[in-house]
Amino acid sequence: MANDAAKKMLAQNKAIMSRYNLILPGVNLVYIAYRMYYLWDSFSGWHIAAFVITSIVYLVCYMLIARAAAPKYAPLEKGGGLVSGGADLSQAGVLEYSWDMLYTTMFVQLSSAFISDWFWLLYLIPPCIGFYFLWTMVIYPWISRPDSEPEAPDTQGKKAKVKYGKAR
């Protein structure tokens, strides 16, 4: 059967995305309900700002993952069939970092709601890791690069000796 791998990938990606279509709103609803109902006395503007930040992180990460999971179809002129079932959502790179940010955000949001507000400090770790990678892979190599290439020694006035080796 044609495109078996693409169809399996499509089914797998649909299952993963439908699961996270339930998990992410559920985590947000639990956070809002518990924070606003049970801990209303400690609910402040900082909690609203943190909820807005986590919502933005959820949205960006989810859109990156959803875009990678989207299937690709051939143009209608060529039959409009399934070309690709989307990317493998467990691959390394930006998708891996998106999953890490989703899990970190869920953990920080729920643990700060149920255990302690000090868990918001864990949300400082991903930007620090990002700055470390930015420093080691972009900034430091760029600033430590010499400004110009070293000049070749002037050999016009001198005769260079050329040694010839034996051919085997």
Instruction: Give a yes or no: residue 105 inside a domain.
Output: yes
Give the total number of structural domains in the chain. Answer: 1
pLDDT for 105:
92
Instruction: Give a yes or no: residue 23 inside a domain.
Output: yes
- Whether residue 99 contacts residue 23, with contact meaning beta carbons closer than 8 Å, is answered with no
pLDDT for 48:
87
Residue 43 to residue 51: CA distance in whole angstroms: 11
What is the separation of C-alpha 130 from the centre of its chain, rounded to a whole number of angstroms?
10
pLDDT for 149:
61
Instruction: Give a yes or no: residue 131 inside a domain.
Output: yes
- Whether residue 54 contacts residue 102, with contact meaning beta carbons closer than 8 Å, is answered with no
User: Which of 72, 116, 66 minimizes the C-alpha distance to 95?
Assistant: 66
What is the separation of C-alpha 94 from the centre of its chain, rounded to a whole number of angstroms?
4
Each of the 168 residues of the chain gets a pLDDT tens digit; together they read 557 777 888 888 888 888 989 999 999 999 888 888 888 887 888 888 988 999 999 999 999 988 888 877 777 666 667 766 677 777 877 888 888 899 999 999 999 888 888 888 888 888 888 888 888 888 888 888 777 665 555 555 566 666 666 666
Q: Is the pTM of this model over 0.75?
A: no
Range of the domain at 71: 4-143
User: Which of 45, 41, 54, 63 minimizes the C-alpha distance to 111?
Assistant: 54
pLDDT for 155:
56
Paired tokens of 106: 């869920």
**Beta strands in the chain, from DSSP E residues, in sequence order:** 72-73, 82-84
Instruction: Give a yes or no: residue 8 inside a domain.
Output: yes
- Whether residue 95 contacts residue 54, with contact meaning beta carbons closer than 8 Å, is answered with no
User: At a CB cut-off of 8 Å and minimum separation 6, what does 58 contact?
Assistant: 24, 28, 102, 105
**Over the Cα atoms of the chain, what is R_g?**
27
Residue 125 to residue 118: CA distance in whole angstroms: 13
Instruction: Give a yes or no: residue 81 inside a domain.
Output: yes
- Whether residue 14 contacts residue 90, with contact meaning beta carbons closer than 8 Å, is answered with no
Instruction: Give a yes or no: residue 164 inside a domain.
Output: no
Instruction: Give a yes or no: residue 165 inside a domain.
Output: no
Residue carrying structure tokens 């953990």: 107
Instruction: Give a yes or no: residue 150 inside a domain.
Output: no
